[in-house]
Amino acid sequence: MRPFFPLLSSIAFLLILVLFLHSLPYPPVIYNATDSLPHGFYLVRPGRVYHKGQLVVCEVPEHVRALVVSRQWLKEDGLFIKTIVGIPGDTARVRKGQFVVNDTDFGPVHKYDSQGGKLPAYVYDACSVNGYILAAPGKERSFDSRYFGPVRPELILGEAIPLVLF
């Protein structure tokens, strides 16, 4: 029995680890395969307060989930990794076809995606927003808050910390 002890204890440890990770309400590490950010693995560090410039992991808002899945941008249980570019109280609007948050231009708002599919048009009325505005700065084709609006705080699972990037 002694020669099998290391093997059995390793199997028991792995089983406990898998059960623990499976019990979490969100995955502790996720893989990004989209072109909005570098491909690779990101650690999800839960938080309660988020700030501008912070990279976060969030659930896809329900009103655009079917679109995201049908266009195969993410799987059904996929998560966004985006940068917070606006916080509650900030002002967002579309000005001359450009998405602007507090006078910072985050690029054009396209009517169609790169494959010709129609994109939703979220109407910003230049008033302060409730929720977080997410974008991928420098990636004008990113599907982000310019199309689906501000994200409710409860949809943000935590900060995204790059672990291994390709």
State the CATH architecture for 27-165: Ribbon (2.10)
Res 107: pLDDT = 94
Res 102: pLDDT = 93
Res 6: pLDDT = 81
pTM comes to: 0.84
Q: Over the stretch 137-164, which tens digit does the pLDDT of each residue have?
A: 999 999 999 999 999 999 999 999 999 9
Kindly state the DSSP code that residue 138 receives in the 8-state scheme. T
Give yes or no for a contact between 32 and 42, defined as CB atoms under 8 angstroms apart: yes
Res 39: pLDDT = 95
Q: Over the stretch 20-79, which tens digit does the pLDDT of each residue have?
A: 655 666 678 999 999 999 999 999 999 888 999 999 999 999 999 999 999 999 999 999
Concatenate the DSSP letters of all residues of 46-99 into one string: --S---TT-EEEEEPPHHHHHHHHHTTSS-TT-EEEEEEEE-TT-BEEEETTEE
Res 130: pLDDT = 84
Helices and strands, number each (H, E), in the chain = 3, 9
Give residue limits of the domains in the chain. 27-165
For 154, the 3-state DSSP assignment is helix
Res 10: pLDDT = 84
